[in-house]
Amino acid sequence: MPYSLNIHIEAWPLAGAFRISRGTRKVSDVLMVEVNDGNYVGRGECFPYARYGEDIDSVQKQLNSVRSEIEHGLDRQALLNVLAPGAARNAVDCALWDLEAKRAGVRVWDLADLPAPEPVTTVYTLGVDEPAIMGERARENSDRPRLKLKMTGDGADLERVRNIHKNAPNARLVVDANEGWTIEQYLEYAPQFKELGVEMIEQPLPSTDDEQLSGVDRPIPVCADESCHDRATLQSLVGKYDMINIKLDKTGGLTEALNLRDAALKQGLSIMVGCMIGTSLAMAPGILVAQAATIVDLDGPLLLAEDRNPGLSFTGSIIHPPEPRLWG
């Protein structure tokens, strides 16, 4: 067999408890995949997400179900037909990109026929908490150019944003409801958030209810996250959203992420590049997609107690492209 597939289960403690509308997390449980051709090793990382019916065991089973095909030299294009979009395919796809670049002695962007990536500026995410606590955390991070604020739909979200804007008046703001609002809350909050410096609202309604966004006033751009996975989901978003959040764990890797980005831009949709909470290995491929993004959310390593070594180089909120020792 030309390749061998190795799967590693890893737990990365967070710097503090991180809460969104669906629950609280203290550890990021990821899978790291290695594809070895005997001379070079390509690596990829994924985060199984319960919202999409994934966990560590189910993703590991998916990977093992296609082990034979991968070890017999499955390429990235064939992978699109073997695994569905999701975490498992993401880890393998990114590992194959990394392996191919190492074997060719070039960078991944050369393989993709893309310009060398420039540094990008990421948001810094504040998990949901009491309004006063979120306000204090905003004060502590008021020098960051853009803050992303997790909302929960509990009736205190407007107070949260007011406190944050007061304590970080120069920071640009985006809010993420994680499907936690009703249409009535969206209609109430959106115009007031605009006055508080909010630039974008991410996934205000459950994906099953987002038809309610059709035809309503959108004073702030609205971004699809849970409603957008890959190109197959793109057409249903037109008229409801102004932007899509591309996450490699949803698209199933860099290959589809680049295709989705190009297709969305042709539809007139703006691009956000997002992440699950993971290490620099998970963020590195996203930097290529982020070159055309209006908003970049690749702050996963900043939320960890400790990152992978070597990791990405951060200068405040600026992320520099990955070194070859990390990925690509």
Residues assigned a catalytic role: 150, 247
Q: Please give the Cα distance from 182 to 169 (Å, whole number).
A: 28
Number of residues in the chain: 328
* Euclidean distance between CA atoms 127 and 108, whole angstroms: 33
Strand partners, 120: 319
Strand order in the sheet with 120-121: 120-121, 318-319, 314-315
- CA atoms 22, 28, 29, 33: torsion sign: positive
Per-residue burial over 145-161, b = 16 or more CB atoms within 10 Å of its CB, e = otherwise:
ebbbbbbbbeebbbebb
Find all residues with CB under 8 Å of 254, minimum gap 6, and list them.
93, 94, 97, 108, 112, 248, 285, 288, 289
CA distance 242 to 204: 13
Q: Chain centroid to CA 32: how far?
A: 17
Q: Which residues pair with 161 in a beta bridge?
A: none
